[in-house]
């Protein structure tokens, strides 16, 4: 089978909240100094790679990471609204340790059940459901070599859709700041498939996941 798309999926570089271990969903922060260095290291690693287009979350940290990597490519950007990070409601801006202490019961349910919603926010199941339309748009596009810049929960949701995993399974994959993953999409020989039913009829291979070797010397 011929490879019809190669999709490189990137999590944004670190922000001040990532550096301080604070919970961050819809809070729209730029990259920290460390996050900028991470993005520059990824830029240098991907300098010689060929890409056709960049899809990205409209949030600052994702787009800033995309801009830095794109310094070597000068590609067009396509924002996808549904690629915004998970809405973590009442937990926004709090320390992980505080959330576990103050909201122990709901946190314990949320961490093991992808359908449980954060108070005032979303569940992982919600995220994987809403990113599906963006994944379908990308798979139906005419672009071959694609860069996507997203977030931890969003990228897990993209993984789940690409490989037809349940949210309970896809949420278990570790994703580091400025780590990247690669999907290979093979030719779909079924020509009569409707647009919204496309994913189950594609053969998608995960070539690598959460590559971080370029970040080893960044503190």
Instruction: Decide if 33 is catalytic.
Output: no
The pLDDT tens digits for 198-212 are: 666 788 999 999 999
Q: Give the model's confidence band at 184: pLDDT under 50 very low, under 70 low, under 90 confident, else very high.
A: very high
Instruction: Decide if 105 is catalytic.
Output: no
Under 8 Å between Cβ of 55 and 78: yes
Chain Cα centroid distance, residue 79: 13
The pLDDT of residue 190 is 53
The pLDDT tens digits for 66-113 are: 999 999 999 999 999 999 999 999 999 999 888 888 888 999 999 899
Q: Which of 12, 56, 151, 214 is catalytic?
A: 12
The pLDDT tens digits for 129-178 are: 999 999 999 998 999 999 999 999 999 999 999 999 999 999 999 999 99
Q: Give the model's confidence band at 189: pLDDT under 50 very low, under 70 low, under 90 confident, else very high.
A: low
- Answer whether residue 214 shows pLDDT above 70: yes
- Answer whether residue 8 shows pLDDT above 90: yes
Q: Which of 85, 87, 151, 214 is catalytic?
A: 85
The pLDDT of residue 96 is 85
């Amino acid at each position: 089978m011929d490879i019809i798309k190669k999709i490189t999926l990137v999590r944004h570089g670190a922000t001040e909240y990532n550096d301080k271990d604070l919970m961050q969903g819809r809070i729209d922060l730029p990259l920290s100094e460390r996050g900028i260095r991470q993005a520059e290291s990824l830029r240098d690693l991907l300098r010689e790679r060929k890409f056709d287009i960049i899809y990205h979350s409209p949030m600052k940290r994702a787009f800033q990471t995309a801009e830095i990597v794109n310094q070597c490519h000068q590609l067009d950007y396509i924002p996808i609204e549904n690629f915004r990070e998970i809405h973590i409601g009442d937990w926004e801006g709090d320390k992980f340790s505080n959330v576990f202490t103050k909201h122990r019961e709901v946190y314990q349910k949320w961490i093991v059940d992808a359908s449980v919603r954060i108070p005032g926010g979303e569940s992982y199941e919600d995220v994987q459901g809403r990113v599906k339309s963006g994944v379908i748009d990308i798979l139906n596009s005419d672009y071959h070599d694609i860069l996507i810049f997203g977030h931890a929960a969003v990228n897990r949701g993209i993984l789940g859709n690409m490989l037809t995993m349940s949210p309970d399974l896809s949420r278990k994959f570790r994703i580091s700041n400025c780590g990247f993953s690669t999907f290979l999409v093979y030719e779909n020989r079924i020509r009569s498939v409707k647009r919204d039913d496309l994913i189950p009829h594609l053969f998608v291979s995960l070539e690598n996941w959460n590559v971080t070797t370029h970040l080893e010397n960044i503190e």
